[in-house]
Amino acid sequence: MNTDLSIFHLIKEASFVVQFVMLLLAAASLASWTFIFSKRKELSHAIEITDEFEGEFWSGVALADLYRKLSAKDFEPEGIEKIFLAGYKEFSRMRQTGTVVDPMVQVESAQRAMRIELSRELDRLDQHLPFLATVGSISPYIGLFGTVWGIMNSFMSLSTVKQATLAQVAPGIAEALIATAIGLFAAIPAVIAYNRFSSRLDSLTGRYELFVEEFVVLLQRQAHSK
């Protein structure tokens, strides 16, 4: 008698626990792929915005003109633009107060405003990365649990058989191993994406922090020039 060892048949005939493990891993894989595509687009856009802004910022344009241009945009500023706007807005507010404010206090206030906006931007860009890390780390173990459970049930079902054959053992072991395969299928892309996105985020964070320091130097010069 021929035994159907197709993947779909094995999944259909698997025990409830193994099927639940497979379903859980499939859902985790689907969610991680959704986050992978959205995060890739989000980080690429943030890098593009940063490249465009830095090119304009270092082109020699007046800071006040750049501030007015970004403030008048029809759409919401993003990424490094928001950091610049937060810093220059606070710097201008401190200079326009009725009381005389020490130049260093003006600059420090602007720097704090930029640091706050920087933290918010990094928190936004970091969203979903912990989920990818979790999927990458625990999916193989969940799949292994399904495999162990399936193999255990397979051998338990043979306890009532006087003479076990390969045809009787193979389907149970095969359906159990599918759980491990699905776990690896969910984990490998998640780990690769997490490492890739973490590297790009670290690079972008460095650029943001470097811009804040460079902008602070420019504000110091402007604060002491008047």
Pick the more confident residue, 169 or 213: 213
**How does the average pLDDT of the chain come out, rounded?**
84
Residue 199 has pLDDT above 80, yes or no: yes
Residue 75's H or E segment, with its range, is none
| Angstrom distance (rounded) from CA 178 to CA 143 | 8
The pTM score is: 0.82
Count of CB atoms situated within 10 Å of the CB of 91: 25
Q: Which long-range contacts (CB under 8 A, 24 or more apart) does 2-8 make?
A: 3/167, 3/170, 3/171, 5/170, 5/171, 5/174, 7/178
Alpha helices in the chain (DSSP H): 7-13, 16-57, 63-71, 80-95, 103-125, 129-157, 166-224
Query: pLDDT digit string (tens) for 145-193?
Result: 888 888 887 777 666 666 655 556 666 677 778 888 889 999 999 999 9
**Residue reference for tokens 């490492």:** 195
Cα torsion angle, 178, 20, 33, 141, sign: negative
Query: pLDDT digit string (tens) for 73-117?
Result: 777 888 999 999 999 998 888 877 655 567 788 888 899 999 999
| Angstrom distance (rounded) from CA 151 to CA 55 | 60
Q: What is the pLDDT of residue 198?
A: 95
Residue 208 has pLDDT above 90, yes or no: yes
pLDDT mean over 126-134: 93
Every domain of the chain and the residues it spans: 7-224
pLDDT mean over 2-9: 57
Among 45-54, 165-174, 190-199, 213-222, the least confident range: 165-174
Residue 136 has pLDDT above 90, yes or no: yes
Contact predicate 212/115, CB 8 Å: yes
Q: What is the pLDDT of residue 106?
A: 84
Q: Please list, in sequence order, all residues whose beta carbon lies within 8 angstroms of the beta carbon of residue 21, skipping any fewer than 6 positions away.
A: 142, 143, 145, 146, 149, 179
